[in-house]
Amino acid sequence: MLTPSNPTTHTITAALPYANGPIHIGHLAGVLIPADIYARYLRSCGQRVLFISGSDEHGVPVTIRAQQEGLTPQQVVDKYHTLNKEALADLGISLDIFSRTSSAHHHQTTTHFFKTLHDQGQLEAKETEQYYDPVHQQFLADRYIRGTCPHCGHQDAYGDQCESCGTALSPEELLRPRSTLSGAPLQRKKTQHWYLPLDRHESWLKQWILEEHREWKTNVYGQCKSWLEQGLKPRAVTRDLAWGIPVPLPQAKGKVLYVWFDAPIGYISATQAWAKEHGEDWKPFWQNPNTQLVHFVGKDNIVFHCIIFPAMLKAHGGFVLPTNVPANEFLNLEGEKISTSRNWAVWLHEYLANFPNQQDVLRYVLCSSAPESKDSDFSWKDFQAKNNNELVAILGNFVNRTVVLTHKYFDGIVPTCHTLTEVEHTLVTYIQKLPGQVGQAIEKFKFKEGLQLCMDLARAGNKYLAETEPWHLIKTDRERVGTILHTALQLTANLAILLEPFLPFTSHRLEQSLGMPHPATRQWPQAGSMALVDAGTVLAAPTLLFEKITDEQVEIQRQKLYNSG
């Protein structure tokens, strides 16, 4: 387990969500909540952490949304950047900075990165034929092209993917391709672009990933292996669009940097912006060989963060490569794939409005059913069951019983601990081992396992109270009841520390209830102690940690989803 005596610099990135709409639960379960758990845990161990994300504000999805809403692309990204930044803060995602790729500083950083690669001969210029809309007189990005899917026959497949069968496509594979702007049949026209020659990097990438990073998650390692064994090909870093970062070459008028090239550089520009604001040096977070760089992404971003971005960093020179990329699979919704175009999603800002002060319920449900190794599913019925049967009935029940009994029998004052019996010794041994077990699970990116271990501690607390029955003993052995409740309160205090990375709002409420110093972060090394709450401490009045979610509440959400989807 990590300790404050040996701090390491950790740069943690969460994939930048597109600013073409609100953040939904898929983003949270796959990327943002796991990244936040990891960052909070590292901070609590005394590590130096910089946790970065931001809005990905260029690319075709933004221009399509702008057309739909009758806004300019800048107005669209301004709108959703603000909405998402506030929603993430409300959910307790502890980002050090939530930056944006439309900022002047990011444009400068990305332009400089491109020019460095170009001047070092790390890019190749090629002339190719691409689809062109003769009516609008412009080249078309993949999302502006539709046609018939060659795999399933769906007649309205996009140029990059068929939403019917899920197959990844290229525009050239579509049957009868047409422009979504004019509906006209497409022409082929020559255009020049600049490419990152990934084939030049294939040898060292194979050694670095396949030999040196066998510990990466199976889904990540497997996807990288498949790509590398098929052979890498040059990939365009520019495209013909009006919205984006202009290519800084005199012969590239009307072209912008491809969003996949621009977006990951956003991690670096965000670090620089944070460092400038806080009077820090940004370089240790990206250029110190001892820095641990970890990218949290969904499975659709594995190749970009494991192969393409590392190739960019290596070609530029001077940057560390990622230590790990613990990518998750996809979260489905009520048995179907989340689709923003069909409004088949649970939007974060709407959840926060519909379930005030219940941020940790969503965090708990999404962590406990996270798609860590395979696709998983969110349903409103499961959301209700996990809240009522686990958070209310197990965690909330134990804490409430403990605090209520202490108020009832000892006027809310933490009693003195006297002689421990075998049942206490067994429980103490269990508690002392748990921080190491939870910490190990988090360090291995097994967040579901870590959360389950915490809930098992609450279960053990309920079992302890049921076995010792202090409500019966109070009539004959007040001293023994004092020991029982003292022990239960120490268990509660340990829960406050261990749950902080997962359920920060609940952790804070536990601290307040027990009179513990806030925050419980920075205290992971103290977890496992049975002296976290002093005898004589006055507890706050008992309040319910969680409330039951009713059938009516769930049905409202289900109807809202099915009526809009």
Give the per-residue SS3 of 39-100.
HHHHHHCCCEEEEEEEEECCCHHHHHHHHHHCCCHHHHHHHHHHHHHHHHHHCCCCCCEEEE
- How is residue 392 annotated by DSSP? I
Predicted TM-score (pTM) of the model is 0.94
**How high is the mean pLDDT of the chain?**
94
Q: Are residues 515 and 393 in the same domain?
A: yes
Q: What is the mean pLDDT of residues 9-36?
A: 97
Q: Is the dihedral of CA 180, 143, 372, 395 positive or negative?
A: negative
Q: What is the mean pLDDT of residues 176-204?
A: 92
Lowest mean pLDDT among 159-173, 313-327, 369-383, 496-510: 159-173
Residue 5 has pLDDT above 60, yes or no: no
Q: What is the mean pLDDT of residues 155-182?
A: 82
In a domain, 177, yes or no: yes
If you search the block for the tokens 């007189």, which residue do you land on? 137
Q: What is the pLDDT of residues 43-78, one digit of tens each?
A: 999 999 999 999 999 988 898 899 889 999 999 999
Q: Are residues 137 and 182 in the same domain?
A: yes
CATH number, residue 160:
2.170.220.10
Q: What is the pLDDT of residues 27-41, one digit of tens each?
A: 999 999 999 999 999
Tokens of 261: 């090239």
Residue 132 has pLDDT above 90, yes or no: no
In a domain, 536, yes or no: no
pLDDT of residue 520: 54
Q: What is the pLDDT of residues 437-478, one digit of tens each?
A: 999 999 999 999 999 999 999 999 999 999 999 999 999 999
- Neighbour count for residue 557 (Cβ, 10 Å): 18
CA distances from 277 to 33, 47, 100, 280, 513 (A): 25, 21, 15, 8, 36
Q: Are residues 20 and 41 in the same domain?
A: yes
Percent of the chain predicted with pLDDT > 70: 97
- Residue 165 — very low, low, confident or very high, per pLDDT cuts 50/70/90? confident
Q: Look at residues 292, 313, 328 and tell me which one is the last residue of a structural domain.
A: 328
pLDDT of residue 2: 67
Q: Are residues 227 and 131 in the same domain?
A: yes
Q: What is the mean pLDDT of residues 213-233?
A: 96
CATH number, residue 391:
1.10.730.10
pLDDT of residue 166: 64
Among 241, 38, 272, 231, smallest CA distance to 141 is for 241
Lowest mean pLDDT among 3-17, 361-375, 384-398: 3-17
Q: Are residues 385 and 521 in the same domain?
A: yes
Q: What is the pLDDT of residues 236-289, one digit of tens each?
A: 999 998 899 999 999 999 899 999 999 999 999 999 999 999 999 999 999 999
The C-alpha atoms of residue 228 and residue 205 are separated, in whole angstroms, by 8
Q: Are residues 405 and 468 in the same domain?
A: yes
pLDDT of residue 67: 87
The C-alpha atoms of residue 215 and residue 271 are separated, in whole angstroms, by 27
Q: What is the mean pLDDT of residues 229-235?
A: 94
Q: Look at residues 176, 209, 239 and tell me which one is the last residue of a structural domain.
A: 239
Q: Look at residues 175, 209, 239 and tell me which one is the last residue of a structural domain.
A: 239
For 263, residues 6+ apart whose C-beta sits below 8 A from its C-beta are 16, 56, 58, 59, 101
Q: What torsion do the CA atoms of 95, 101, 106, 109 make, to the nearest 10 degrees?
A: 100
Domain count, the chain: 3
Q: What is the pLDDT of residues 507-550, one digit of tens each?
A: 999 999 998 876 655 589 999 999 999 999 999 999 999 999 99
In a domain, 333, yes or no: no
Q: Are strands 331-333 and 376-378 parallel, antiparallel or unpaired?
A: parallel
Residue 390 has pLDDT above 80, yes or no: yes
H helix intervals, 231-338: 259-278, 284-287, 302-303, 309-316
pLDDT of residue 341: 81
Q: Which amino acid is at 51?
A: F
Q: Are residues 409 and 478 in the same domain?
A: yes
The C-alpha atoms of residue 562 and residue 559 are separated, in whole angstroms, by 5
CATH number, residue 105:
3.40.50.620
Omega within 30 of 0 (cis) for the link into 519: yes
pLDDT of residue 564: 77
Percent of the chain predicted with pLDDT > 90: 85
Residue 215 has pLDDT above 90, yes or no: yes
Q: What is the pLDDT of residues 103-123, one digit of tens each?
A: 999 999 999 999 999 999 999
Q: Are residues 302 and 438 in the same domain?
A: no
Q: Are residues 230 and 203 in the same domain?
A: yes
pLDDT of residue 514: 95
Residue 189, CA atoms < 13 Å, CB-side half-sphere: 12
Q: Are strands 157-158 and 175-179 parallel, antiparallel or unpaired?
A: unpaired
Q: Are residues 323 and 433 in the same domain?
A: no
Quote the domain boundaries for residue 174: 123-239
